Amino acid sequence: MNTQTTRLANDNYQPLSPYKFLHHPDRLAQFWEHCYDVTPVTAHLAPTLYCNQRCYFCTYGQYKEHGKNSMWQMDIRDLKDCLDQLAENGIKGVIFTGGGEPTIYPHLVEAMAHARSLGLDIALNTNGYRCSDALLDGILLCQPRYIRVSFNNGRALTQRLVTGRDNFQQVLDHIARMAERKASLSPATDLSVGYVVNTVNVHEMLDFLRHILGIEASVRRKTGVANPIYSVQFRPVSNFEHSKYVADEERLARLAAYLGEQYGQAYRDELEGFLFQGQQASVATMQLALETIQTQLVPALAQDGASKIKIVYPERKYTDLIARAEKPYPLCLSCPWYLFIWPDGNLYSCVEWAGNPQFAIGNILRERLADVLAGPARREMADKINQGYLHHKCVAVCAHHEMNILLNRLYADGREKADGNLGDVTVRHENFL
């Protein structure tokens, strides 16, 4: 490892580790044959676009605000066929995710059970708002590798203004119940809480951590399980042209006014710039986030003494956002390693551009996945992205930023020099890229 890549191997990555792809030697062999002919390891599957929240920064918010005519929910027979094809083609992990909120999908448990029956590893991203006993137990009995609850505020007021739902305590209670139930039904499931750091919540990170530590302590007392919550994950927000919910003007005006009163005009301007001018989170916000993680959250966890929660954060993303660095790689090489499946069956090779039909490489409900993977569309899309989008329209730091750094380094060094040696890098959830 050189110094550029050493930091990517730090313990603070773990489930977000960009080294996961090295755990798939069969895919690496394909990569060396042709870097765009890798059989995807992971499918991000959005069964529905419906959601019970309206977060202002939602990655796919504009598609949902304006996409009234597209197919919002996948039929369960189509979804099962889709899972069959994923298994037949050697995909290893399926993340049930948004799109919308997967727990809104009425057949979620049936779909997860079907995936497991096919030998697929599964995981769930949820906002934690919908969590009946039957739903939760059904999900846990499918033994997902992880559940990540996306909960992005430290206070009830901002949760309401950001999501449009007055559900702060309810979601905290649900996280506690998930932790308790998983202790008996699926102890191997990693339960984590994700926090997308943005200009609204950057001052609430410690409040958030304290709430989660409180849940951990209480569940530990009740169940005797030492580590009922695996991690808290702090990822920086991104702003795509298709991101954001902006229709609820009154709520967003109250949110902006709140920020102005609490933290000053600069924060208010930043929110409005994000919402209405497509601006990214500011350098100051990202700097504050990284400093807060390293100088407040990590020490707070150490002080707790009993906590086993890990603080996970992609440090390189923060430092590159702070440096306002150009993308440090000439090619997007991560796309072939995963798929994103929209509820209408469209297949995408990028998580961020998913939902925009101009980026679809095929449709799993109308074509066989094997034909799409073997056909020309993937390479053509890779050319389109590398030539027209990578350095102009993709955000500077996307979800697979660090993976692209490593893959480009590997590609530049060549097969002979690449040793694929993981050393002491800690990687979790290797089937979920």
Nearer to ligand SF4, 176 or 398 (CB): 398
Report which residue type is found at 401.
H
Burial class (CB in 10 A: 0-12, 13-18, 19+), 15: buried
Integer Cα distance of 285 and 279 in angstroms: 13
In sequence order, the β-bridge partners of residue 310 are 231
Minimal distance in Å, beta carbon 151 to ligand SF4?
A: 9
> Do 177 and 132 form a contact (C-beta atoms < 8 A)?
no
The alpha carbon of residue 98 and the mean position of all alpha carbons in its chain are separated, in whole angstroms, by 9
Nearer to ligand SF4, 59 or 227 (CB): 59
Largest pairwise CA distance in the chain: 59
55 lines the binding site for ligand SF4 (CB under 6 A): yes
Pick from 334, 346, 408, 431 the residue near ligand SF4 by CB under 6 A.
334
Minimal distance in Å, beta carbon 227 to ligand SF4?
A: 26
Instruction: Extract the runs of DSSP E, i.e. beta strands, from 198-312.
Output: 231-236, 310-312
Integer Cα distance of 94 and 96 in angstroms: 6
Minimal distance in Å, beta carbon 302 to ligand SF4?
A: 31
361 lines the binding site for ligand SF4 (CB under 6 A): no
45 lines the binding site for ligand SF4 (CB under 6 A): no
385 lines the binding site for ligand SF4 (CB under 6 A): yes
400 lines the binding site for ligand SF4 (CB under 6 A): yes
Minimal distance in Å, beta carbon 152 to ligand SF4?
A: 8
47 lines the binding site for ligand SF4 (CB under 6 A): no
Burial class (CB in 10 A: 0-12, 13-18, 19+), 234: buried
197 lines the binding site for ligand SF4 (CB under 6 A): no
Report which residue type is found at 383.
D
Minimal distance in Å, beta carbon 164 to ligand SF4?
A: 8
86 lines the binding site for ligand SF4 (CB under 6 A): no
Minimal distance in Å, beta carbon 307 to ligand SF4?
A: 26
Minimal distance in Å, beta carbon 236 to ligand SF4?
A: 14
Integer Cα distance of 232 and 191 in angstroms: 9
Structure tokens that stand for 3 in this block: 């110094």
One character per residue 276-315, x = contact with ligand SF4 (rule: CB under 6 A): ----------------------------------------
Residues with Cβ within 8 Å of 93's Cβ and at least 6 positions away in sequence, in order, are 41, 42, 43, 120, 121, 122, 123, 145, 429, 431, 432, 433
Place of tokens 């709520």: 251
Pick from 14, 17, 53, 189 the residue near ligand SF4 by CB under 6 A.
53
Report which residue type is found at 127.
N
Report in angstroms the alpha-carbon separations of 112 from 288, 399, 417: 39, 24, 41
98 lines the binding site for ligand SF4 (CB under 6 A): yes
One character per residue 217-256, x = contact with ligand SF4 (rule: CB under 6 A): ----------------------------------------
* Site residues, ligand SF4 (CB under 6 A): 51, 53-55, 58, 98, 100-101, 127, 150, 332, 334-335, 350, 352-353, 385, 390, 394, 398, 400
